[in-house]
Chain A
Amino acid sequence: MKGKTLLYLSIVLSMMLAVVPMSSVKGSPATVLSIEPPLVEDTVPVCNNFTVDIYVTDVVGLWAWKVNLTWDPAVLEVLEVTEGPFLSGQASPTAFVVAPFDPATGFIPEISCGSIKVPAKTATGSGVLATVKFHVIAPGECDIVIKDTVMIGPPPSMDPLVYTVEIGHFKLSPPPPTSPEAIFTPLTCTMVYVGDWVTLDGRASTDGWDTLPDPPGGHTVDINDYKWLIDFLNGTTVEMHGDYIPDAFQCDKPGDVAITLTVNATDPLQPDHSDYEPIDSETHTIHQASKPMGVVIDVYTEKGGEGLGINWDADPPVQWPWSTAWSDAFAPQEEVTVYAKVTYNNDSVQNKPVAFEVKDETGTGVVYRTVFTDADGIASFTFRLIWECNKTFTTNYEVWEIWASVSVSEIEKLDVVKFRYGWLVQIEEIDAPGQVDKPVKPENFVAFEVTLLLKNLIHWPSNNKAVYITVVVYDVCGVPIAVAKVPDLLVPEDAYYWDPIFTLLVPPWTYRGTGMIYANIFTGAPQDGGVPVCSEVSTPIWLGRP
């Protein structure tokens, strides 16, 4: 009965909104009915979703509203429209109506909402009237338009409100000429037990995009062949075809297997752009290991380290076989969550006490805990990394270890995971000229380059974060004469001696003498709450002619 009442009220509301004469509007001229955000540009790739709000700003006495919505159906698709909290928050209950629509037409004939509270209530202020969820179909550009809009005050007069309408805009630039990319599982370092079957899955590979012969946009070039080459590294190779091959091969004995996927996306439309390469290959090396029987304990952190691992200390990193698993790196005073999974013949062992020991760079035990395994056979605890007041890293990072041991049926087993502890992004060195002359007329300044040699301890991209890098130059009197900053730079994970180069300018009013260059890395601008990511690094520089 209540549903029928709402439906009836909705129909009545639509009819009332439909007959409001636009010529009689009056009210606050500051009111704006808009799409928020007004511009979505190159932030949402194809096959992803985003939302925009139908937003009202500075409205007074809103009782009901109505819009229709248009977009380019070749670029976007509407997935759903939901009511926003603005009207329902102040004038509940409300009747929210989205007229049936065909996504292929790029048009919703009506989105409306009105308060059905008796006596009538209205909403005042700013807020979200409705939220529209879009799906990106293809690169392109289109307006997101609200038209035939109506906003009215409460009955009985139902005066139309005065407002302006602002539309939204979506833009997704077509990609540059992009070769196909071979992406597949199993990933490098995946551990497979002898006797297990290995499934090859290359469905994550990306198609190519060629911009010839049809600029300005371009076209997708589908991958037309997936070629797998299984190299058992003993002279035996097997070739297969297909994007997904369940149970492709069976591991027979401990050792490594190199798997190479070659994808071919030859463009039938010729010519190709010279930057377009139709073939891409990727090789992963997996490790076959004997299936552990009996009691097994595996210790790791929330940043990885399950099973066997990689030694990132080696250059290049040593992969299989390696006796110690490595977690990703941790920053000073960061909280570490430690897990230890206990199994017996691959079955979880519950309610067993597990001993943990955390050892610092010097091998000194700094944390000892006993934790019982849960229903999944996992014991876990947390600790925050020690940060002494006078802490300095003797090298650019330390290596810490977490040990875990357990006894099942008087069979004692232990495991260890290591991690790097230090400034996650750090300045190794400042490379700058020893001397820069002061400008001599007619020059207004003299430019010189400062190169920062950066290191990023983070290994997994998901743990990587953009940083705020600054370089400032003082002259001999302590006067800052030049500054440069990059507010949101992403240093590639595992980067070693990554080298952004700043061009700085010496002004003529520089005092002659030995100045200093200071380089800093923050999580953000200090005024926005950014904090240091690492120690400041400085180097002297002679400013002026000797």
Chain B
Amino acid sequence: MIWYNGVSVHASPALTLTVTTDKPEYYPNENVTIYGNLTVDETPVTDGLVAIQVKNPSGQTLMFRTEITGTPPSITPYVAVRSIIPCNSTGGPKDSFGRGTLAFFKLIVTNYDIDPRRALMAVSTFYSDNVPFCYSSFECELVEKTTTSIIFCLPIPQDATLGNSTAYGNAYSDLPENGGWPYCTEKSTTFLITSEGFSLSPTMSEQTNQLATTLQLEGNYNTTFKLSWETGAGDYAIYATSRYYGEEIFTNTTFSVKLQGDFDGDGDVDFTDLFVTMIGTYYYNYWNEGTYDPKADFDGDGDIDFTDLFIYMIGTYYYNYWL
């Protein structure tokens, strides 16, 4: 509140949101922790929601999550995800899906507002080791005071990790990358990925819809996911958004993924990396340990220097060109 000529004036509170990762660079199969905090006028927001969208270097969305910055907001949201249920193609409950088949998830959403609300509903799936593997979304204007169900279809990869997996259902005002903010806390459910192309579970297990949030304190939030072994190298984008008492905030950051063995840094591990490693070893040994190996002395001048590296690299291109 600001006092102006003896009159109190309410200024818009300054909402700030930070997002960062625990490391700037990762290798495949590593855990990525995304964290940050939400403050208003430098005071931690302890009942806020933060939408997180991660996109891979090719621009494909990797996952959606909604995290809380303390406790879930107490007021009824305009749009709420009521439940997420793994199901068959017609919406009948089903708790396991085989590799290479289609998994379905029924998301039930209610618009509590007295006006229509544009909403983007998304489902993200994670393997048991927390590797995100698929997502789908649906966006439309929800008629006021109505409940809508959406059946999402997500393919289970042929090489999917077997075991208990988790699906998260979220509702945003738009894609977080476009500034869309979370309407409500996310809902989650577990399902089983089996090696068979059909459900192995003849009896339904109890649906485990739950609030997929962990207790956060002092306006902080965090979420962790694991990069798969096949994660591509490059820059990954993270978009984080929030809305608190009418104020909207958007922020983003990136992290990069390097591949082990990618010595030439071209985003893959191939023959070039192998050759670079080999000649690089000879080069290193000669200058640091005094070890001379004539196999790497391409010009035969008695040392292993840049000329040999140059000849080797040209040779590689020659090889690449002709073979």
Q: Using Cβ atoms and an 8 Å threshold, which residues of chain A touch B247?
A: 274
User: Scoring A residues 484 to 526 as 1 if CB is less than 8 Å from chain B, else 0, what string do you get?
Assistant: 1111111010000011111111011100000000000000010
Contact A486–B150 (Cβ < 8 Å): yes
Instruction: Name A363-402 residues within 8 Å CB distance of B.
Output: none
The answer to the question of A122 belonging to the interface, with a C-beta cut-off of 8 Å to chain B, is no
Contact A274–B148 (Cβ < 8 Å): no
Count of A-B contacts with CB under 8 A? 126
- Closest beta carbon of chain A to B2's beta carbon, Å: 15
Contact A505–B246 (Cβ < 8 Å): no
Tell me which of A185-193, A304-312, A420-428, A440-448 binds B.
A440-448
Contact A211–B75 (Cβ < 8 Å): yes
Contact B139–A176 (Cβ < 8 Å): no
Contact B134–A505 (Cβ < 8 Å): yes
The answer to the question of B102 belonging to the interface, with a C-beta cut-off of 8 Å to chain A, is yes
User: In the complex, what distance in Å separates the CA atom of A470 from the CA atom of B31?
Assistant: 37
Contact A484–B245 (Cβ < 8 Å): no
Tell me which of B108-116, B288-296, B297-305 binds A.
B108-116
User: In the complex, what distance in Å separates the CA atom of A275 from the CA atom of B155?
Assistant: 40
Count A interface residues, CB 8 Å.
Answer: 48
Tell me which of B209-217, B225-233, B270-278, B279-287 binds A.
B225-233
Contact B138–A206 (Cβ < 8 Å): no
User: In the complex, what distance in Å separates the CA atom of A273 from the CA atom of B231?
Assistant: 44
User: In the complex, what distance in Å separates the CA atom of A504 from the CA atom of B90?
Assistant: 17
CB closest chain-A residue, reference B47: A215
The answer to the question of B93 belonging to the interface, with a C-beta cut-off of 8 Å to chain A, is no
Contact B90–A525 (Cβ < 8 Å): yes
User: In the complex, what distance in Å separates the CA atom of A425 from the CA atom of B77?
Assistant: 30
Contact B134–A444 (Cβ < 8 Å): yes
Contact A490–B148 (Cβ < 8 Å): yes
Q: Using Cβ atoms and an 8 Å threshold, which residues of chain A touch B32?
A: none
The answer to the question of A178 belonging to the interface, with a C-beta cut-off of 8 Å to chain B, is yes
- Closest beta carbon of chain B to A158's beta carbon, Å: 38
- Closest beta carbon of chain B to A497's beta carbon, Å: 12
Q: Using Cβ atoms and an 8 Å threshold, which residues of chain A touch B139?
A: 500-501
Contact A445–B77 (Cβ < 8 Å): no
The answer to the question of B58 belonging to the interface, with a C-beta cut-off of 8 Å to chain A, is yes
The answer to the question of B162 belonging to the interface, with a C-beta cut-off of 8 Å to chain A, is no
Interface centre among B76, B113, B146, B152 (most CB of A within 10 A): B76
The answer to the question of A105 belonging to the interface, with a C-beta cut-off of 8 Å to chain B, is no
User: In the complex, what distance in Å separates the CA atom of A499 from the CA atom of B232?
Assistant: 34
CB closest chain-B residue, reference A139: B76
A485 with B134: in contact, given A443-B58, A444-B157, A490-B146 (CB under 8 Å)?
no
The answer to the question of A483 belonging to the interface, with a C-beta cut-off of 8 Å to chain B, is yes
Contact B246–A275 (Cβ < 8 Å): yes
Contact A273–B245 (Cβ < 8 Å): yes
The answer to the question of B178 belonging to the interface, with a C-beta cut-off of 8 Å to chain A, is no
Instruction: Name B239-261 residues within 8 Å CB distance of A.
Output: 245-247
The answer to the question of B141 belonging to the interface, with a C-beta cut-off of 8 Å to chain A, is yes
Q: Using Cβ atoms and an 8 Å threshold, which residues of chain B touch A206?
A: 114
Instruction: Name A11-34 residues within 8 Å CB distance of B.
Output: none
A446 with B91: in contact, given A499-B140, A505-B134 (CB under 8 Å)?
no
The answer to the question of A482 belonging to the interface, with a C-beta cut-off of 8 Å to chain B, is yes
The answer to the question of A225 belonging to the interface, with a C-beta cut-off of 8 Å to chain B, is no
Count B interface residues, CB 8 Å.
Answer: 53
The answer to the question of B153 belonging to the interface, with a C-beta cut-off of 8 Å to chain A, is yes
The answer to the question of B137 belonging to the interface, with a C-beta cut-off of 8 Å to chain A, is yes
Contact B138–A484 (Cβ < 8 Å): yes
CB closest chain-B residue, reference A212: B245
A492 with B149: in contact, given A181-B114, A505-B134, A525-B90 (CB under 8 Å)?
no
- Closest beta carbon of chain A to B283's beta carbon, Å: 32
Contact B60–A447 (Cβ < 8 Å): yes
The answer to the question of B143 belonging to the interface, with a C-beta cut-off of 8 Å to chain A, is yes
CB closest chain-B residue, reference A273: B245
Q: Using Cβ atoms and an 8 Å threshold, which residues of chain A touch B10?
A: 271
User: In the complex, what distance in Å separates the CA atom of A525 from the CA atom of B114?
Assistant: 29
The answer to the question of B320 belonging to the interface, with a C-beta cut-off of 8 Å to chain A, is no
- Closest beta carbon of chain B to A509's beta carbon, Å: 8
Q: Using Cβ atoms and an 8 Å threshold, which residues of chain A touch B157?
A: 444-445, 508
Q: Using Cβ atoms and an 8 Å threshold, which residues of chain B touch A275?
A: 245-246
Contact A447–B135 (Cβ < 8 Å): yes
Q: Using Cβ atoms and an 8 Å threshold, which residues of chain B touch A215?
A: 74-75
The answer to the question of A114 belonging to the interface, with a C-beta cut-off of 8 Å to chain B, is no
User: Scoring B residues 47 to 62 as 1 if CB is less than 8 Å from chain A, else 0, what string do you get?
Assistant: 0000000001010110
Contact B143–A504 (Cβ < 8 Å): no
Q: Using Cβ atoms and an 8 Å threshold, which residues of chain B touch A540?
A: none
* Contact among B61, B140, B149 with A500 in the assembled complex (CB-CB below 8 Å): B140
User: Scoring B residues 151 to 178 as 1 if CB is less than 8 Å from chain A, else 0, what string do you get?
Assistant: 1111101100000000000000000000
The answer to the question of A337 belonging to the interface, with a C-beta cut-off of 8 Å to chain B, is no
The answer to the question of A173 belonging to the interface, with a C-beta cut-off of 8 Å to chain B, is yes
User: In the complex, what distance in Å separates the CA atom of A302 from the CA atom of B229?
Assistant: 64
The answer to the question of A93 belonging to the interface, with a C-beta cut-off of 8 Å to chain B, is no
CB closest chain-B residue, reference A486: B150
Contact A176–B150 (Cβ < 8 Å): no
The answer to the question of B136 belonging to the interface, with a C-beta cut-off of 8 Å to chain A, is yes
User: In the complex, what distance in Å separates the CA atom of A489 from the CA atom of B141?
Assistant: 10
CB closest chain-B residue, reference A481: B155
The answer to the question of B89 belonging to the interface, with a C-beta cut-off of 8 Å to chain A, is yes
A175 with B112: in contact, given A218-B75, A498-B141, A505-B136 (CB under 8 Å)?
yes
Q: Using Cβ atoms and an 8 Å threshold, which residues of chain A touch B143?
A: 490, 492
* Contact among A271, A486, A508 with B148 in the assembled complex (CB-CB below 8 Å): A486
* Contact among B78, B100, B140 with A176 in the assembled complex (CB-CB below 8 Å): B78
The answer to the question of A42 belonging to the interface, with a C-beta cut-off of 8 Å to chain B, is yes
Interface centre among A444, A445, A487 (most CB of B within 10 A): A444
Q: Using Cβ atoms and an 8 Å threshold, which residues of chain B touch A507?
A: 155
- Closest beta carbon of chain A to B130's beta carbon, Å: 16
The answer to the question of B35 belonging to the interface, with a C-beta cut-off of 8 Å to chain A, is no
Contact A484–B153 (Cβ < 8 Å): yes
A176 with B148: in contact, given A447-B136, A484-B136, A501-B140 (CB under 8 Å)?
no
Contact B148–A488 (Cβ < 8 Å): yes
User: In the complex, what distance in Å separates the CA atom of A179 from the CA atom of B82?
Assistant: 24
Contact B138–A486 (Cβ < 8 Å): yes
The answer to the question of B312 belonging to the interface, with a C-beta cut-off of 8 Å to chain A, is no
Q: Using Cβ atoms and an 8 Å threshold, which residues of chain B touch A443?
A: 56, 58, 60, 232
User: In the complex, what distance in Å separates the CA atom of A501 from the CA atom of B139?
Assistant: 5
The answer to the question of B27 belonging to the interface, with a C-beta cut-off of 8 Å to chain A, is no
User: In the complex, what distance in Å separates the CA atom of A505 from the CA atom of B80?
Assistant: 25
Contact A442–B75 (Cβ < 8 Å): no
Q: Using Cβ atoms and an 8 Å threshold, which residues of chain B touch A5?
A: none
User: In the complex, what distance in Å separates the CA atom of A60 from the CA atom of B164?
Assistant: 42
Q: List 28 A-B contacts (CB under 8 A).
A: A42-B82, A42-B112, A42-B147, A176-B77, A176-B78, A178-B114, A181-B114, A215-B74, A216-B74, A218-B75, A273-B246, A442-B232, A443-B232, A445-B134, A447-B136, A483-B102, A484-B152, A486-B140, A486-B149, A487-B150, A492-B141, A498-B140, A503-B122, A503-B137, A505-B155, A508-B157, A509-B158, A527-B90
Closest 3 CB pairs of A and B: A274-B246, A216-B74, A442-B230
